[in-house]
Structure 1
Amino acid sequence: MMNRNIILLATLLFIVFIGVYANHFYNGFHFDDSHTIVDNVYIRNIKNIPAFFFHPEMFSASPAHWGLRPMVTTTLAIDYWLGKGLNPFYFHLSTFIWYGLLCVMLYFVYKQLLSNAIKTPDVKYLSLFGVAWYALHTANAETINYIISRSDVLSTFFIVSSFFIYIRWPHLRNKFLYIIPAFIGVFAKETVLVLLIILFFYIVLFEKGLSLRQLLTKEHFPQIFKTIGQLFPLLIVVGITQIYTLSKINAIEGISNPLGPYVLTQSYVWLRYFIAFFLPLNLSADTDWTVIYNPFDERIIIGVSFCIALIWSIFKASEKTATKPIAFGLIWFAAALLPTSLAPFAEVTNDHRMFFPFIGLMLSVVMAMALCLEKYSSVWKKNVFSRSCVIFIALFIVGLNAYGVYQRNKIWKDEETLWLDVTVKSPLNGRGLMNYGLSQMAKGNYSVAEEYFNKASVYLPYYSTLYINIGILKSALNSPELAEENFKKAISLDPGAFAPYVYYAQFLKDTHRLVEAQQMGEKALAINSSSLFLLNVLTEVYQQLELWNELKETAKKTLVLLPGDAKALSSLAFAEDKMSFKRGDVSKETKAKTAADYLNQSLYYYNSKDYNSCIEACRQALKIKPDYADAYSNMGAAYNQLKQWDKGADACRKALSINPDHPLAKGNLEWALKQREM
C-alpha cells in the first residue's frame, strides 16, 4: 500500500514539477550565455565534440573565459544540433532533464541516509518530501534558468551519482565503479573534489559509527588514515583529471579579490545562503555584494559567529545515531561551499552557488523535522486535525517555493526583465545597471540606455566593457567623436582584451575609415582568431579595400569554424574571381585591350591613389562593356575618395541597377550618401 502511495505522490510531484517550470522553456540566453553559447561557433558543429576535451578555446568566444568544461560544451552542441540552431527550448529542456534525473536519484540517497538513523515506514514519505522541496526550491530556479549554469547541474549530478553508487552497493567498491561518474563530472566543473570530503565523513559517521569528537582523539587517528586510504583511488583519478583540465588554461577568469578579506566575507555569505534556504525572498541574477575589508565589521562578526555555531552543531549532531544525518547534511552544505569560498572570485556571492550545497542542507532539515515528528508521533498520528496540520505545512512549504519558481521564471524571460530585476534588487551593481541599459539600447530607447550607462559609470569607472557599450550608443546617436573617445578609453583600460578592438574596428568600418578598421580588426584577430563577429567585420573591410588575398584567407578561416557557411563561401568565390583578374593585372604603361583589362588598370590606379586615372580607366571599360557593374563600382569608390559624393553615389546606383547585390557598390553608396548629408 505504501509503495503505491509513494508512486502516486511521485507521479503527482512530476506533474507539478513540469507545470511549475512550464513557463521557463523559452526564456532567453543571458549573461555568460552570450560568449559560451550564442557567439560560440564551435557548438554549431556536433563533429567538434571530441575536440572539446582538448581545446579550451572551444568553451567560449571570449579569450578571457577560455577553459576546459567539455561535458558542458558537448551537451550544448547536442542542444544546438537538436534545435537546428539557437532554439532556447532545447537548451532549457536538456538542463531540465538532467535536473529531473538528479531529483529522482536524491530520493534514494535521502531514503538510505535517513534509514541509517531512524527505523520508520515514514522514511519514504520524508525522503519524497525532501526531494519535492529541493526540486521546487525557489533558489534553484536561478540555476535552471541560467543555461551555462548547467555546469552546476551536471557536476552535482555526477557527484551525487558517485556518492549513491558508493553507499548503495558497497560490495562493488573494489571494482571502483563509483569513480566513473566522478571522473566524468570533473569535465563539467571544478567542484568534484568535494566528493572526497563528503565520502570521508560518510564513512566516519555511518560506517565507522564515530562522532567528530571521537575522530579527533589520539586513539582514532589511525581511522583517519585508513579512511583516506579507502578513498585514495578516487583522489588519484579525480586529482589527475582535474590537474589536466586546469593545465589547459592560463588563469581562472574572475579571481580578482584579496584572499583574506574575501574569505572572511564568505562567513556572512554562508549565513545569507542558509537564510535563503528557508526564505528565498531577495534572489538576484547579479548581486551588488562586495568584499568587506574591516574584520570588525558587524557583518563579519555575525558571519563568523554563524560559522562557529555551524561547526558546533555539526560536532553536537554527530554524537548520536539519530542526529548523524543532520551532522552529515551540514558537512555537505559547508563542503560544497568551500570551492567558491576559498577562490577569491570577483562575485562575492552568486545565487546559483546554492544549488549543490542545498542538497546537504535539505537532508539536515528533513532529518530534524523527522525527529520532531517522531517525538510527538503519539499526538499527531492519532489526531486527525494534527495530522492534517502536518500535511498542510508540508504542502505549504513546497507550494510556496513552487510559486516562487514560477515567478522567477518570469523574471528570467528576457534581458529586459532580468536586468530590471537586478537594478531593483542590487541597485549598487554597476554591471546590472549597464546590462539593463543594453536591453534598452537594443530596443532603441537610447535616452534610457544613456541614463543607465551613466549610473553604471559611478560604480564601474574602470570597466572596459562599459565604455565599449557607451561607444556603440554614441555611434547610434550620431556622435562619432564621443564614440571614438569611448572606444579608445575601453582599449586603454584593457589593452590585452579582444572586445575593445573588434567593436572599435566595426565603428571605423561603419564610418568608412577602412584602413584603421583593418588595423584594429587585425589586432583583435591576433588575440582571438575564432570570433565569427570579428571575421565578418574583417570580411567587409577587406572587400571594401579590395584586398582580395586577405578576403580569401578570412573566408577560409570562417569556413574552418563554420563549414558550408553560405556567406563565407560567397566571399571566397568573390575573392578568387577578383584574384583571377588580378593575375592578368596591367600597369599604367600596358595597353588595355578588353573591358577586364581596363578594370584591372582602374584597380592599379586606385591602389596607387591616382583616383582620376582610375575613373578614366573605368570609363574606357564601360565603352567596351556598358553594363559592367564592377566598373561603375570602382568609379564610385574613386569619386568617394575625391569627396565628390554626388558623382560617387550616382556611379554606385548605376552599378546596383545592373547588379542589385553588388557588395562593394552598396557600401560605397551608403558612404557617399552619409557623407553628403553631413
Structure 2
Amino acid sequence: MLDLNTYLENITSFLRLNRNYLIALLVITLTTYINILPNKLFYDDEELIYKNVYVQNLSFLPKYFTENMIAGAGKTSNMYRPILLTSFAVDHLSWGNTALGYHFTSIFLHALNSVLIFTILLVLFKNQFMAFLSSLFFIVHPIQSESIAYASGRTDPLYSFFLLSAILLFISILADKITYRFKYYLALSFFILSLLSKETAVILPLILILVYFTYIRKKEIDLYHLLKISFPFFLIDFFYVFLRLTILNFSNTLNFYPASNTYSSSLLVRFYTFSNVFFTYLSILIYPKELIMFRNVPIINSPLYPSVFAFILIAIVVTFLSFKIWRKNKIFLFSILWFLITILPVSGIIPINNILAEHYLYLPSISFFLPGAYLLTLLWKKCTNMFQKSFLVIPLTCLFIILTSRTILRNFDWHDPITFYTMSLVQSPWQIPMRHNLAMAYSENGQSELAINEYKKIIATNDIYPHTHHNLANIYKEIGKNKEAEEEYRKAISLDPNFQFSYYGLADLYNKMGEQEKLDEITTKIQMLFKNN
C-alpha cells in the first residue's frame, strides 16, 4: 500500500511529465471564456443569488441543507443543491453581487474539469495526445457555453468536478491493488458533495463499474473486490434517494410533471421521444451553429417514427461492433456506455419536465470527443512526414478555431438580460415566459414603451395571464397613464378574481389620483377577500 509521501511524489511526477498539456488546457479555457467576465447576473441568478437572502448571508448555511434551493428567495421548488448554494455564498462573501467573481469561479471549475478528464483518460487509455485532444474538445465546444456563461449554470461544472475527482481517486485505488483508506474515504466524500451539487450524480456507481472493467485486465478481474469497493457508493445512492423521496421532498413532484400526460405516463413514449432527442444532440455536437436554450420538442408516440428506428439500429450496430473489438480497443464501448450512463437521468427514464437541454451534455459529450480524438490520433500516427502531418494539423487547427469562435460568440448572448431574452425570442418566439422576462428587463431599464409593446404581444398571443395585465398597469401608472393603468388592473382581476396584487395596485392608483370613493370601494373589497392575509 502506498504511503502518503509516495502518493504525493506520484502526483508531482505526473504534473511534471504533463506540465505543458495541463498549462495549455488552463490557458485555452481562460481564452475561450474570458469574455463572460463582464456578463451580468440575471434570469435564474435572481432567485439563486442576488435575491436569495440565504446566499447573501452565510449564517443561513444550515438552511441550505434542510430547505429547497430557492427558499431563500421566498419560493418553493423541489431542487435540493446545498453545495451549489454554498459556492454562491462563498462567492458573495468575496465579491458581493459583482458578477465577475461568479463567472471567474465557473471558468475555474471548467478548467479543473478539463484537467481531470485529461488525467482520467490518460490513466485509462495510456495515450497522452488523445487525452489532450478529448479535453480540448471538451473545453472549446459551444455546447458547454450554457453551463459556463451564466452564473446559475454552475451546477453542471460543480457536480462534475466532484464526480470526476471521485472517479480519479477510484482509479488510483485500483492501481494500488489494496484500498488506500484515505483516498477511499475522500472518494466517498467527493461523491456526497457531487450529489449535494446536482441530483444527476446518482449515476456515479455505474460509472465506477464501467471504469473498473476498462482499467482492470480481464485476468485480474475480481468481482468480489469490485462489490466490496463499489457497495458503499450504491449505499450512499440509496440513502440519498430515500431522503429525497421523504424529508427532502419539498413539493412532492421530484420535478416530474404536475399532472399526468402522454409523455409522463408512458415509458415507451419517453423512449421514443428520447430517440428523436438523441439526433438533436448529435446534430448540435457535429454542427453547433444553432444554440437554443428553449427548444420545442415533439412527443413521439410510435416506434415507426424514422428517428426511433434509426436510433435502435445505430445503437445495436455500434454496440455490437464495440463489443467485438473490446479486447483490442476499449475506447468505443467505453464511450457508448459513458454516454448511456451519464445521459440516463435526463433521458426520460424519469419524466422530468425539461426534455432537452444543451447543458445536459456537459459530461455526456465526452463520449463523442473521445472517439473523435482517438481517430485523429490514429491518422496522426499514419502520417510519415511533415507534409502529410500538415494536412492534418491545418484542418484540425481550423476546427478548433471555429469551435472556439462559436463559443465566444455564444458567450456574448449571455451578456445581459435584454440581449439574452431578445436572442431567445428570435429562436423561440413561442416562449411566453421569456417575453415576460424581456418586458420586465425593458421596464427595469427605463424603456417603458418597449416593455409595453412586449406585454401587448403576450396579450395578443395568449391572454390568460393576470401578471401580464398587472405589470402593464404598473408601467402605465409610472408614466402617468392612469386610465390605462386602471383598465389593465381590472383586466388582471377579471382573469383571476383572487389576484391580490392588482387590488393593491388599484388602491395605490386611486390614492394617488385622489379618487376617495373608488379607494374606499377597493379597500372594502380587499378586506373581504384577503382578511386573513
Q: Which residue of 1 aligns with 2:239?
A: 240
The offset of 1:411, in angstroms, is 0.8
Q: Provide the rounded CA distance (Å) in 2 between the counterparts of 1:33 and 1:393.
A: 39
Q: Which residue of 2 aligns with 1:673?
A: none
Q: Provide the rounded CA distance (Å) in 2 between the counterparts of 1:467 and 1:137.
A: 42
Unaligned ranges ≥5, structure 1: 116-122, 211-219, 527-678
The offset of 1:282, in angstroms, is 0.7
The one of 341, 350, 357 equivalent to 1:350 is: 357
Q: Which residue of 2 aligns with 1:89?
A: 100
Q: Which residue of 2 aligns with 1:255?
A: 257
**In the alignment, structure 1 residue 104 sits paired with structure 2 residue 109:** no
Please give the secondary structure, in 2, of the residue aligned with 1:255: coil
Asked if the contact 2:49–2:55 (Cα under 8 Å) also holds between the matched residues in 1, the reply is yes
The offset of 1:329, in angstroms, is 1.5
Q: Which residue of 2 aligns with 1:407?
A: 409
Figure out how many residues of one structure are paired with residues of the other and give that number. Answer: 491
The one of 133, 136, 146 equivalent to 1:129 is: 133
Structure 1 residues 65-124: Cα deviation after superposition (integer angstroms, max 9, x where no partner): 2532110111111111111x2110111112222222111111101112222xxxxxxx21
Asked if the contact 1:271–1:303 (Cα under 8 Å) also holds between the matched residues in 2, the reply is no
Please give the secondary structure, in 1, of the residue aligned with 2:199: coil
Q: Which residue of 1 aligns with 2:202?
A: 193
What letter matches 1:67 in structure 2?
A: M
The offset of 1:168, in angstroms, is 2.6
The offset of 1:370, in angstroms, is 3.0
Q: Which residue of 2 aligns with 1:35?
A: 47
Structure 1 residues 496-526: Cα deviation after superposition (integer angstroms, max 9, x where no partner): xxxx655764664455459859969x97997
The offset of 1:185, in angstroms, is 0.9
Asked if the contact 1:467–1:490 (Cα under 8 Å) also holds between the matched residues in 2, the reply is no
More divergent stretch after superposition (460-469 vs 34-43): 460-469
Asked if the contact 1:506–1:517 (Cα under 8 Å) also holds between the matched residues in 2, the reply is no
Identity across aligned pairs (percent)? 18
Please give the secondary structure, in 1, of the residue aligned with 2:80: coil
Asked if the contact 2:69–2:85 (Cα under 8 Å) also holds between the matched residues in 1, the reply is no
**In the alignment, structure 1 residue 21 sits paired with structure 2 residue 29:** no
**In the alignment, structure 1 residue 48 sits paired with structure 2 residue 60:** yes
Asked if the contact 1:505–1:518 (Cα under 8 Å) also holds between the matched residues in 2, the reply is no
Q: Which residue of 2 aligns with 1:139?
A: 143
Asked if the contact 1:98–1:157 (Cα under 8 Å) also holds between the matched residues in 2, the reply is yes
Q: Which residue of 2 aligns with 1:67?
A: 79
The one of 432, 437, 449 equivalent to 2:439 is: 437
TM-score normalised to structure 2 length? 0.82
The offset of 1:394, in angstroms, is 2.7
Q: Which residue of 1 aligns with 2:515?
A: none
Q: Provide the rounded CA distance (Å) in 2 between the counterparts of 1:15 and 1:184.
A: 27
Change (3 A) 1:275 1:481: same
**In the alignment, structure 1 residue 329 sits paired with structure 2 residue 352:** no
Q: Provide the rounded CA distance (Å) in 1 between the counterparts of 2:385 and 2:328.
A: 25
Q: Which residue of 1 aligns with 2:282?
A: 274
Q: Provide the rounded CA distance (Å) in 2 between the counterparts of 1:64 and 1:460.
A: 26
The one of 485, 489, 513 equivalent to 1:484 is: 489
Q: Provide the rounded CA distance (Å) in 2 between the counterparts of 1:524 and 1:419.
A: 39
Q: Provide the rounded CA distance (Å) in 2 between the counterparts of 1:468 and 1:363.
A: 52
Q: Provide the rounded CA distance (Å) in 1 between the counterparts of 2:152 and 2:343.
A: 19
Alignment of 1:410-429 (within 5 A): 410-429=412-431
What letter matches 1:328 in structure 2?
A: F
What letter matches 1:485 in structure 2?
A: R
Q: Provide the rounded CA distance (Å) in 2 between the counterparts of 1:62 and 1:312.
A: 51
The offset of 1:255, in angstroms, is 2.9
Please give the secondary structure, in 2, of the residue aligned with 1:64: coil
Q: Provide the rounded CA distance (Å) in 1 between the counterparts of 2:195 and 2:91.
A: 21
The offset of 1:467, in angstroms, is 5.1
Q: Which residue of 2 aligns with 1:290?
A: 297
The offset of 1:461, in angstroms, is 5.2
Q: Provide the rounded CA distance (Å) in 1 between the counterparts of 2:195 and 2:15.
A: 36
Asked if the contact 2:167–2:208 (Cα under 8 Å) also holds between the matched residues in 1, the reply is yes
TM-score normalised to structure 1 length? 0.65
Structure 1 residues 556-610: Cα deviation after superposition (integer angstroms, max 9, x where no partner): xxxxxxxxxxxxxxxxxxxxxxxxxxxxxxxxxxxxxxxxxxxxxxxxxxxxxxx
What letter matches 2:242 in structure 1?
A: I
Q: Which residue of 1 aligns with 2:92?
A: 80
Change (3 A) 1:174 1:293: same
Q: Provide the rounded CA distance (Å) in 2 between the counterparts of 1:525 and 1:151.
A: 39
Change (3 A) 1:57 1:179: closer
Rg: which structure is higher?
1
Asked if the contact 2:70–2:76 (Cα under 8 Å) also holds between the matched residues in 1, the reply is no
Change (3 A) 1:389 1:328: same
Q: Provide the rounded CA distance (Å) in 2 between the counterparts of 1:436 and 1:155.
A: 30
Change (3 A) 1:25 1:433: same
The offset of 1:319, in angstroms, is 2.6
Q: Which has the higher contact order (CA 8 A, sep 6+)?
A: 2
Please give the secondary structure, in 1, of the residue aligned with 2:114: helix
Q: Provide the rounded CA distance (Å) in 1 between the counterparts of 2:531 and 2:100.
A: 33
More divergent stretch after superposition (184-193 vs 431-440): 431-440
CA-based RMSD: 3.4
The one of 166, 178, 192 equivalent to 1:162 is: 166
Change (3 A) 1:189 1:507: farther
